[in-house]
Amino acid sequence: MTETALLENLRLNPFVLAPMAGITDRPFRTFMREMGCGIVVSELVSSTGLKYSSEKTRKLMEFDKTQHPVGIQLFGENLEHLTFAAQEVEQMGADFVDLNFGCPVPKVVNKGAGSACLKDLSKLRDTVRAAKSKIQIPLTIKVRTGWDANTRNTHEVAQIAFDEGVTWVAIHGRTRAAAYTGLADWDYITEVKAKSKVPIIGNGDIHTAEGALRRLNETGCDGVMIGRGCLKNPRIFAEARGRLEERTFGRILDRLHVHLSGFYDERLTLIQMRKFAAWYSAGYAGAAGFRKDLFQLQKRDEVLGRIHEFFNVANDQADTSHEPFLMGGHG
């Protein structure tokens, strides 16, 4: 896909699924596209893993044709491996390559990848330039606001991105030091957007469709990225676009089951179904008992039956956004 076409997609539907390791696999990306999300991105994929052709790594990158536009997110400190991986992504038919400069996890940072590049912008520039030089499809990047509160540098990153022909910069509004504590700094994202010559996608702590629209309008961002918010409400993208999702919750989760079982064996499908159903039950009456049941039931029909039973009567989801939820991740 050309840069113009990708940006047109973003203009038409500015609600982007955030990459999440262990979550945004092929079935979940398909599910979220079906539920109204505009653009999807894989979880971070190791360029070195790909270079050595690990089957597990390749599975993370799989997508199906209903997902376009779909990006594959890469990380890695070895530029030879990274450029190899970027070319592989292009050959697979993905629409864009996304580079991860936000991962705070020590295993990644200690090697000089992920958010470590925010401490060394010349390295970030070299990495972007190397990847960009080998591919025709668009290159995007995802960053945090800086290494720590004293060294926030997204203005500089946006300038580098512009100079190097990057298509957009997605900003998770926290520093690496903040990990997942506190709140994403949307004032800073707004400031960066106001000065940036490259499109900006804002990200962090969007829990509702109203919140997504508010952030989009208030910041002037070109798009907003939603991660954990869609793990509590699978309708969040459809609602943000003003589309009424008429299927019942049970029917929605049936779709998720179809996608999971087309990708995983029965055991893994059930593990994933339990996980998503447990997250989606947040804030509904009886959620604690439901979760306990889910993890005790073993047979597929029992698990699916209990999910239907619970969600058929689930209404009035309480706001649980103040409760800690998935306070760790790769970006």
Ligand X SMILES: Cc1cc2nc3c(=O)[nH]c(=O)nc-3n(C[C@H](O)[C@H](O)[C@H](O)COP(=O)(O)O)c2cc1C
The reply on whether position 229 binds ligand X by CB under 6 A is yes
Of the candidates 179, 213, 205, the residue with the CA atom closest to the CA atom of residue 320: 205
Distance separating alpha carbons of residues 164 and 160, to the nearest angstrom? 6
Least distance in angstroms from the C-beta of 61 to ligand X: 12
Q: Contact with ligand X (CB under 6 A): which of 3, 6, 9, 19?
A: 19
Q: Could you give the CA distance from residue 252 to residue 308 in angstroms, rounded to a whole number?
A: 10
Q: Is 330 in the site for ligand X (CB under 6 A)?
A: yes
Which residues does residue 40 pair with via DSSP β-bridges, in sequence order? 70
Q: In this structure, what is the dihedral angle of CA atoms 5, 6, 12, 15, given to the nearest 10 degrees?
A: 170
272 forms part of the interface with ligand X (CB under 6 A): no
73 is an interface residue for ligand X by CB under 6 A: yes
Per-residue x/- marks for ligand X, 30-69, CB under 6 A? Answer: -------------xx-------------------------
User: Please, what is the end-to-end C-alpha distance for the chain in angstroms?
Assistant: 25
Q: Is residue 40 a contact partner of residue 70, using CB atoms and an 8 Å limit?
A: yes
Distance CA 207, CA 284 (A): 15
Can residue 3 be called a binding residue for ligand X (CB under 6 A)? no
Q: Which residue of 88, 95, 164, 205 would you call a contact of ligand X, by CB under 6 A?
A: 205
Q: Binder to ligand X among 1, 10, 16, 18 (CB under 6 A)?
A: 18
Using CB under 6 A as the binding rule, whether residue 14 contacts ligand X is answered as no
Which three-class secondary structure state does DSSP give residue 310?
A: helix
Q: By C-beta, is 203 or 219 nearer to ligand X? A: 203
* Distance of closest approach, residue 227 Cβ to ligand X, in angstroms: 3
Q: 27 or 304: whose CB is closer to ligand X?
A: 27
- Determine the interface stretch with ligand X among 87-95, 104-112, 132-140, 197-205 (rule: CB under 6 A): 197-205
**Rule CB under 6 A: is residue 76 a binding residue for ligand X?**
no
Stretch that binds ligand X, among 17-25, 26-34, 261-269, 285-293 (CB under 6 A): 17-25
Tokens of 91: 């050959």
Give the one residue of 26, 172, 235, 274 binding ligand X; rule: CB under 6 A. Answer: 172
**Min dist. Cβ of residue 185 to ligand X (A):** 12
Give the tokens for residue 129: 């330039």
Beta pairing partners, 71: 41, 96
Structure tokens belonging to residue 213? 């629209």
Q: Which residues pair with 39 in a beta bridge?
A: 16
The distance between the two most distant Cα atoms of the chain, rounded to a whole number of Å, is 56
The reply to whether 103 belongs to the active site is yes
Buried b (16+ CB within 10 A) or exposed e, 157-190: bbbbbeebebbbbbbbbbbbebebeeebbbebbb
Phi and psi (nearest 5°) for 302? -70, -45
Nearer to ligand X, 30 or 73 (CB): 73
Contact residue for ligand X among 228, 232, 235, 274 (CB under 6 A): 228
Please list the active-site residues: 103
Positions touching ligand X (CB under 6 A) are: 18-21, 23, 43-44, 73, 100, 102, 142, 172, 203-206, 226-229, 326, 329-331
